[in-house]
Amino acid sequence: MNGDDASFDTAPPPEAEPTGLAQLKTRMVRGASAALMPLAQRVAPDHIGGETVADALCVAHRLAGEGLPNTLGFWDTAAYSRRDVAETYVETIERLSTSGLDGYVSIKPPALRFEHETAKRLAAVASTHGIRLHCDSHGIEVADLSGAMIETMLARLPPDALGTTLPGRWSRSLTDADWAVERGLPVRVVKGQWPDPEDPKRDMVSGCLDVVDRLAGRARHVAVASHDVSLVPEAINRLRAAGTSCELELIHGAPLAEPLDWARNNGVAVRIYVPFGKGFIPNAVGLIRRNPRFAWRIVTGFVAERTRSRSAP
Eight-class DSSP state of 278: G
Q: From the DSSP assignment, how many helices (H) and strands (E) are in the chain?
A: 13, 8
State how far the Cα of 98 lies from the Cα of 100, in Å rounded to an integer. Answer: 6
> Considering only 49-53, 59-63, 236-240, 242-246, which range has the smallest mean pLDDT?
49-53
Q: Is domain 52-302 given the CATH code 3.20.20.220 in the classification?
A: yes
Q: Where are the domains of the chain?
A: 52-302
Over residues 96-146, the pLDDT tens digits come to: 999 999 999 999 999 999 999 999 999 999 999 999 999 999 999 999 999
Over residues 10-57, the pLDDT tens digits come to: 555 544 545 555 454 444 344 444 555 565 555 455 566 678 999 999
Q: Among candidates 163, 166, 184, which has minimal Cα distance to 175?
A: 166
Q: Among candidates 252, 303, 245, which has minimal Cα distance to 273?
A: 252
CB 171 within 8 A of CB 204: no
State how far the Cα of 65 lies from the Cα of 207, in Å rounded to an integer. Answer: 35
Strand runs labelled E in the chain: 70-74, 103-107, 133-135, 162-167, 187-190, 222-224, 246-251, 270-276
